[in-house]
Amino acid sequence: MQIIINRMAQLELNGVVQRYGKTTVVNGVNLRLEVGQIACLLGPSGCGKTTVLRCIAGFEEIAGGEISLHGVIVSRPGQRLAPEKRRIGMVFQDYALFPHLSVGKNIAFGLSRNPPPDSALRVRELLSTVGLSGLDEKYPHELSGGQQQRVALARALAPRPELILLDEPFSNLDVGLRERLSVEVREILKREGSTALMVTHDQNEAFAMADCIGIMDAGRIQQWDVPYNLYHHPANRFVADFIGQGVLVPGIVGLDNSVRIELGSLTSATPLECSETCARCDHGCRVDILLRPDDIVHDDTSSLQAEVLHKAFRGADILYTLRLASGTQVLSLVPSHHNHDLGEKIGIRLEADHVIAFKKQDDCDDPECDINTASGTKAVTWHPEPAAQASVDVADR
């Protein structure tokens, strides 16, 4: 007999709407966060992600929908539980440490409303957890940016909140420290068994921190998924363009689940089907195919040639911008011992595990019509063909 356990959400948003005047900033956001899960809202500036965080914290009333903590509604239009009653810890972008208090007293501040008898022990435990043992008598100005961020996290964790909210927590740090600290903070949150939601516009932070990520744009979550799926199976053009690097190249749908692009033909084990309201994509339908840098492999033995336009040295790898015969540009991530000059032509081949396709919007009445491209690993085969002929065929369409 199969036993199904329906776990209650630590945090749940149902159709949350927020407006400033006549401007809708958050437009029907839904998300669910379970106990111990670390999630992230990722998106460009102005997409509404910080407003969502403020609504969850209780700093703002909402115009529509509901926000629940452990199944209890804490926000809906006309009803808002005060922030201090929500058992939520907040880590701010600027740390918000008290300069006149020592590190230990900053951490203990979170316990000041009802300090337990073992508050000193709790402070020592957290100092050890965040790697700052022995610094309890130091003051914030005596610490580095990374250390100050750890103190802010320890203060948020001190009262054992049900939920931790992090608002762009690493934006004031340099890139190297930002990436290292994001990994460390994740480990700290996991050790504490904390449930957390972070907002950021930095993909590396989101990937390093989160179990699940919501990509936001124009007040909506475009895709709520694990990092792998966001990169390899984007739900729409916005996600495909926002996550990672890549280019969209024109293609023509062929017979037997194939699509032809300038680099040749790709045949997928999964039919190319529209995921919205259109009928199945027919032979001859125009599409855009997403190619990531790891899809284009440098191969000296390949007869398919591309010109090196730009190169970005990254230590172990070089990211090449290549120009095809038609003038279309693609990206290729190549081991750095393959060091080629600008203007040089190099051999390439296509090695894709799945086809990410989007129907040409001017070919479809539904502007949100995209193509379902989920397929198993290595389910795509590549058939090279003369680049000149392929480019002519695609252009003619």
Q: Name the pLDDT band for 381 (thresholds 50, 70, 90).
A: confident
In angstroms, rounded to a whole number, what is the distance separating the alpha carbons of residues 10 and 163? 8
The two tokens of residue 86 are: 């929500």
The two tokens of residue 336 are: 């750095």
pLDDT of residue 364: 56
| pLDDT over 90 at 56, yes or no | yes
Q: What is the DSSP secondary-structure string of 194-250?
A: --EEEEES-HHHHHHH-SEEEEEETTEEEEEE-HHHHHHS-SSHHHHHHSS--EEEE
Q: Name the pLDDT band for 375 (thresholds 50, 70, 90).
A: very low
pLDDT, averaged across the chain = 85
The H or E element that residue 31 is part of is strand 23-34
Q: Write down all domains in the chain, each with its CATH number in brackets.
A: 9-232 (3.40.50.300), 246-396 (2.40.50.140)
Cα 32 versus chain centre, distance: 16
Percentage of the chain modeled with pLDDT above 90: 55
Contacts of 146 (CB under 8 A, 6+ apart): 173, 177, 181
Give how far Cα 57 sits from Cα of 26, 38, 121, 145, 251, Å.
15, 16, 28, 25, 46
pLDDT of residue 118: 78
- Cβ–Cβ < 8 Å for 140, 133: no
What is the amino acid identity at position 180? Answer: R
Q: Around Cβ 358, how many Cβ atoms within 10 Å? A: 22
pLDDT of residue 280: 56
In angstroms, rounded to a whole number, what is the distance separating the alpha carbons of residues 259 and 250? 10
Reference 130, options 106, 112, 114; nearest CA is 106
The two tokens of residue 224 are: 């709520």
pTM of the predicted model as reported, rounded to 2 decimal places? 0.83
Please tell me which residue, 376 or 347, carries the higher pLDDT value: 347
Predicted confidence (pLDDT) per residue in 248-293, tens digit? 999 888 877 788 899 988 887 766 554 443 455 666 778 888 999 9
What is the amino acid identity at position 268? Answer: S
- Cβ–Cβ < 8 Å for 133, 127: yes
Give how far Cα 52 sits from Cα of 192, 217, 271, Å.
24, 12, 37
| pLDDT over 80 at 35, yes or no | yes
Q: What is the DSSP secondary-structure string of 35-80?
A: TT-EEEEE--TTSSHHHHHHHHHTSS--SEEEEEETTEEEEETTEE
173-201 mean pLDDT: 89
Predicted confidence (pLDDT) per residue in 316-368, tens digit? 999 999 999 999 999 999 999 999 999 999 999 998 877 888 877 666 555 55
In angstroms, rounded to a whole number, what is the distance separating the alpha carbons of residues 166 and 209? 11
In angstroms, rounded to a whole number, what is the distance separating the alpha carbons of residues 383 and 397? 20
Furthest CA-CA distance within the chain: 79
| pLDDT over 90 at 209, yes or no | yes
